[in-house]
Amino acid sequence: MREIFYEKGLAVEFYDRLYPGHLAGTPVVGDVHFYLAQARRMGGPVLELGVGTGRVALPLAAAGHRVTGVDLSRWMLEACARKAALAGLGGRITLVRSDMAKLALGERRFPLAIIPFRAFQHLLTPAAQQACLTGVRRHLRKGGRLVVDLFNPRLEYCLPEYRQAGGSGARTETYPDRVHGRTLEVRYLTRTNDAHRQVLREVWEFRVYGRKFKLLRRQRDTLHLRWTYQWEMHHLLERCGFRVRHCFGDFRGGPVRYGAEQVWVAEKR
């Protein structure tokens, strides 16, 4: 089955509807303001890994920062480039198609690198995680900063026998698209956990309905993410040449809490 975001289709088209701007009502709320404050403090240019459709990169560019955005998905990058051009910000955003675990940006050095909205969790092995962190460090200036956001795993969701609420496994979200007279629907069908590798696999189904609820398009994708425990991440950062400055539980600077976020702020040693 297709892996989400990496191929052309509904997951990419839906992204900005599912995850608009500031992600109100989610544990990640306020992240854009947090990254803007970090960029004000550290200065630009900013390196963003897993830039996606530019949810964070565009506000950074609008605030006057130059941004280099890396993503593995050609389709997410195309969406980002289109939005940047429409907003007149194309000149401030450089997009690079690359695996974040294989960064090779030549001699470019940044005062700030960010990996927002759990993009780091798409790296499914400790070796890929280390390769990413070592690569980022190489592209940071002396004293440069890395901010990474992960979810803080709730263990009951990570059990091998976990089933989504409701028993059947399905959860559905619906998004009316009044401009085009369509309805978008996302069904979270199943989640299976590999508790040994710390990798979850979810199957999402995207549907587009026209008038009278006529099904127009349908697509299924898988999402694999690796969960990483707080002290595992702490050691990983230290091992890869960073000094941990903070780990917050949210983007307001609150304490780490079980089941919330892990917002890491680390400095190049």
Which amino acid is it at 269? R
Contact set with ligand SAM (CB under 6 A): 5, 19, 50-52, 55-56, 70-73, 76, 99-101, 116-119, 122-123
Detail the DSSP E strand segments found in the chain: 2-3, 46-49, 67-71, 93-97, 110-115, 140-151, 171-177, 182-194, 199-209, 215-226, 242-248, 261-268
Cis before residue 45, ω within 30 degrees of 0?
yes
Q: C-beta of 116: minimal distance to ligand SAM in Å?
A: 4
> How near is the Cβ of 122 to ligand SAM at its closest, in Å?
3
Shortest-Cβ-distance residue relative to ligand SAM: 52
Identity of the residue, 110 or 209, whose beta carbon is nearer to ligand SAM in the bound complex:
110
Query: Please, which residue, 209 or 228, has the CB nearer to ligand SAM?
Result: 228
DSSP 65: -
Cα–Cα dist 241/93, whole Å: 28
Q: How far apart are CB 186 and ligand SAM at their closest, in Å?
A: 14
Identify which of residues 65 and 118 has a Cβ nearer to ligand SAM in the complex. 118
Q: How far is the CB of 195 from ligand SAM (least distance, A)?
A: 22
Percentage helix, strand, coil, to 5, in the chain? 30, 35, 35
Instruction: Name the token pair of 81.
Output: 């480039």
Q: How far is the CB of 52 from ligand SAM (least distance, A)?
A: 2
Nearer to ligand SAM, 77 or 247 (CB): 77
